Amino acid sequence: QQIQEEMNKQFFDNLVSFLRRSHSEFQEKATEWTCRMKSREIPAAALVLGVNVTDHDLTFKSLTEVIQNNITPYVTSLQAKDCPGIKNLMQKLMGQLMNCYVDADSSDEEDCAQISQNRVRCSMTSLINWYENITKKTDSETPSRKRTSSRHLQSPPVVVIFKDMESFTTKVLQDFIVISSQHIHELPLILIFGIATSPMIIHSLLPHSVSSLLCIELFQSLSCKEHLSTIIDKLLLTTRFAFKLSEKVLQVLINIFLYHDFSVQNFIKGFQLCIVEHFYSQPLSVLCCQLLEAKKRVNSLSHSQCENIRRLPSFRRYVESQESEKQIALLTSDNSLKEAVQKLLEDLHIYHENYVPVLKCLHVFTSSLPKYPLGKQIRELHCACLESRVWETEDYESSLQLARMLNKSDLVTMLQKCVEIFVSSSGKEFDKVVEKLKDFLAQFEKLEGACQEQEESIPSQKELQKKTDLYHLQKTLLELKESRRSKKLTKFEMLRFEVVDFIDSLVRNYLVPADHKTLHEIMYFNTASALREHLNAAPRIALHTALNNPYCYLKNQALKSDGGSISNKAPDICIAYKLHLECGRLINLVDWLEAFSTVVTAVEGPNGDAAVSDQVDDIIHARFIRAVSELELLGFIKPSKQKTDHVARLTWGSC
Partner 1 sequence: LLNKKMKEDKMSNLVEEYFEAHSSSKVLTSDRTLQKLQKRRLNQETLRDLLKKAPLPFAAEIKELNQQHESLFSKWMLQLHLGFNIVLYGLGSKRDLLEKFRTSMLQDSVHLVVNGYFPSITVRSILNSITEEVLEHTGTFRSPLDQLEFILKRFKEDSSLELYVLLHNLDSQMLRGERSQQILAQLSSLPSIYLIASIDHINAPLMWDQAKQSLYNWLWYETTTFSPYVEETSYENSLLVQQSGSLALSSLTHVLRSLTPNARGIFRLLAQYQLENKDNPSYPGLSFQDFYQQCREAFLVNSDLTLRAQLTEFRDHKLIRTKRGADGVEYLLIPVDDSTLTDFLEKEDEDG
CA dist 391 and 12 (Å) reads: 35
How many Cβ atoms sit within 10 Å of the Cβ of residue 93? 22
How many Cβ atoms sit within 10 Å of the Cβ of residue 567? 18
Of 131 and 279, CB closest to partner 1: 279
Strands (E), 402-554: 524-525
- Residues 141-200 close enough to bind partner 1 by CB under 8 A: none
Of 346 and 645, CB closest to partner 1: 645
Q: What are the beta bridge partners of residue 419?
A: none
Site string for partner 1, 390-429 (x = CB under 8 A): ----------------------------------------
Q: Per CB under 8 A, does 654 bind partner 1?
A: yes
Min dist. Cβ of residue 635 to partner 1 (A): 4
Of 53 and 127, CB closest to partner 1: 53
The 3-state DSSP composition of the chain as helix, strand, coil percent (nearest 5) reads 70, 5, 25
Our measurement of the distance from residue 601's CA atom to the centroid of its chain's CA atoms, rounded to an integer in Å, reads 55
- Residues 541-570 close enough to bind partner 1 by CB under 8 A: 542-543, 546-547, 550, 553-556, 559, 569
- Residues 621-650 close enough to bind partner 1 by CB under 8 A: 621-626, 628-630, 632-636, 639, 642-647, 649
Question: How many chain residues interact with partner 1 (CB under 8 A)?
Answer: 76
- The span of 270-278, 399-407, 441-449, 481-489 binding partner 1 (CB under 8 A) equals 270-278
Kindly report the backbone phi and psi dihedral angles of residue 654, in degrees, each rounded to the nearest multiple of 5, phi listed first. -110, 40
Of 459 and 653, CB closest to partner 1: 653
CA atoms within 13 A on the CB side of 295: 12
Residue from 113, 586, 602, 612 binding partner 1 (CB under 8 A): 586
CA dist 82 and 88 (Å) reads: 7
Q: Per CB under 8 A, does 16 bind partner 1?
A: no
Residue from 121, 446, 540, 560 binding partner 1 (CB under 8 A): 540
Residue from 589, 597, 601, 613 binding partner 1 (CB under 8 A): 589
- The span of 229-237, 312-320, 347-355, 538-546 binding partner 1 (CB under 8 A) equals 538-546
Kindly report the backbone phi and psi dihedral angles of residue 94, in degrees, each rounded to the nearest multiple of 5, phi listed first. -60, -50
Q: Per CB under 8 A, does 338 bind partner 1?
A: no
CB distance 442 to 481 below 8 Å: no
Min dist. Cβ of residue 158 to partner 1 (A): 23
* Identity of residue 72: T
- Residues 68-87 close enough to bind partner 1 by CB under 8 A: 81-82
CA dist 415 and 194 (Å) reads: 43
- The span of 41-49, 269-277, 289-297, 357-365 binding partner 1 (CB under 8 A) equals 269-277
Of 8 and 368, CB closest to partner 1: 8
Of 273 and 350, CB closest to partner 1: 273
CA dist 137 and 585 (Å) reads: 72
Q: Which helix (H) or strand (E) holds 192?
A: strand 189-195
Our measurement of the distance from residue 286's CA atom to the centroid of its chain's CA atoms, rounded to an integer in Å, reads 27
- The span of 26-34, 334-342, 488-496, 529-537 binding partner 1 (CB under 8 A) equals 529-537
The interaxial angle of helices 408-424 and 334-366, nearest 10 deg, is: 150
Residue from 186, 217, 233, 261 binding partner 1 (CB under 8 A): 261
How many Cβ atoms sit within 10 Å of the Cβ of residue 263? 21
Residue from 14, 265, 568, 601 binding partner 1 (CB under 8 A): 265
- Residues 31-60 close enough to bind partner 1 by CB under 8 A: 52-54
Min dist. Cβ of residue 625 to partner 1 (A): 5
Of 48 and 589, CB closest to partner 1: 589
Residue from 535, 568, 581, 613 binding partner 1 (CB under 8 A): 535
Q: What are the beta bridge partners of residue 220?
A: 48
CA atoms within 13 A on the CB side of 160: 24
- Residues 466-525 close enough to bind partner 1 by CB under 8 A: none
Q: What are the residue ranges of helices labelled H in 367-407?
A: 378-387, 394-403
Q: What are the residue ranges of helices labelled H in 150-263?
A: 170-182, 200-205, 208-211, 224-235, 247-256
- Residues 596-625 close enough to bind partner 1 by CB under 8 A: 618-619, 621-625
Which is nearest to 43 in space by CA: 213, 194, 182?
213
Which DSSP string corresponds to 586-603?
Answer: EEEHHHHHHHHHHHHHHH
Min dist. Cβ of residue 642 to partner 1 (A): 7
Min dist. Cβ of residue 307 to partner 1 (A): 22
Residue from 72, 266, 425, 526 binding partner 1 (CB under 8 A): 266
Of 265 and 416, CB closest to partner 1: 265
- Residues 286-305 close enough to bind partner 1 by CB under 8 A: none
- Residues 124-143 close enough to bind partner 1 by CB under 8 A: none
The interaxial angle of helices 2-36 and 264-281, nearest 10 deg, is: 170
Min dist. Cβ of residue 469 to partner 1 (A): 59
CA dist 229 and 376 (Å) reads: 11
- The span of 372-380, 461-469, 514-522, 579-587 binding partner 1 (CB under 8 A) equals 579-587
Which is nearest to 413 in space by CA: 463, 380, 364?
364
